[in-house]
Chains A and B, each alone.
Chain A
Amino acid sequence: ETGVTQTPRHLVMGMTNKKSLKCEQHLGHNAMYWYKQSAKKPLELMFVYNFKEQTENNSVPSRFSPECPNSSHLFLHLHTLQPEDSALYLCASSQEGDSLYNEQFFGPGTRLTVL
């Protein structure tokens, strides 16, 4: 595997279900991100992890719970979601500290549908 991978690619869940999204980066980076992409809206940054520590939580509802067990893996645990949470969830990684800007590498995303 190369780059950033995400599983599953598609997920349909009911509002009472609990599910998890998984992201893995094979680039040796030290920062990972979750974004939400909804139709016709800018990408919304949800969470940032640097060196496994959460450094950003952009007022995300508690029904989304991130977990970063090591610098290569990032999870997004989902429970009691709402239909408006249906979106494409993108994971990205970057190498913090090498330069003034962070080139982020994105995974293909998980298309989530909440019924």
Chain B
Amino acid sequence: GNSVTQMEGPVTLSEEAFLTINCTYTATGYPSLFWYVQYPGEGLQLLLKATKADDKGSNKGFEATYRKETTSFHLEKGSVQVSDSAVYFCALADAYNQGGKLIFGQGTELSVKP
């Protein structure tokens, strides 16, 4: 079945450091890929998405490129801020095989220090 694997956290960085959070997926169809973010005490918010191979999703300085050849969707940001401290979830939705339901990774906690 479909699944998502993320790098384990927590990830601790200094402000202005470069961020990469790895995400790989297994899917039998042609999934759409997502990154959600959960700030402390809040629900999940969609951060960015990509619906087909080689698409790049971007938002708030974060980027992720849908790589079909490596089945990856790594999240990157060039210069993190303290306000980026949150839990980041990679997810996929496969409309043809699982009715478009979201399959989440386990989440990666990011802590950014001043």
Q: Let me know if A43 and B89 touch, CB within 8 A.
A: yes
Contacts of B45 in A (CB 8 A): 106
Q: Let me know if B93 and A109 touch, CB within 8 A.
A: no
Which residues does B use to contact A, with CB under 8 Å? 4, 32, 34, 36, 41-46, 49, 51, 89, 93, 95-96, 100-102, 104-107
**Distance in angstroms between the alpha carbons of A45 and B46 in the assembled complex:** 17
- Give, as a whole number of angstroms, the nearest-CB distance from B36 to chain A: 8
Which residues does A use to contact B, with CB under 8 Å? 4, 6, 40-43, 45, 48, 56, 90, 92, 96, 100-109
- Give, as a whole number of angstroms, the nearest-CB distance from B110 to chain A: 15
Q: Let me know if A43 and B93 touch, CB within 8 A.
A: no
Contacts of B51 in A (CB 8 A): 100-101
Q: Let me know if B44 and A100 touch, CB within 8 A.
A: no
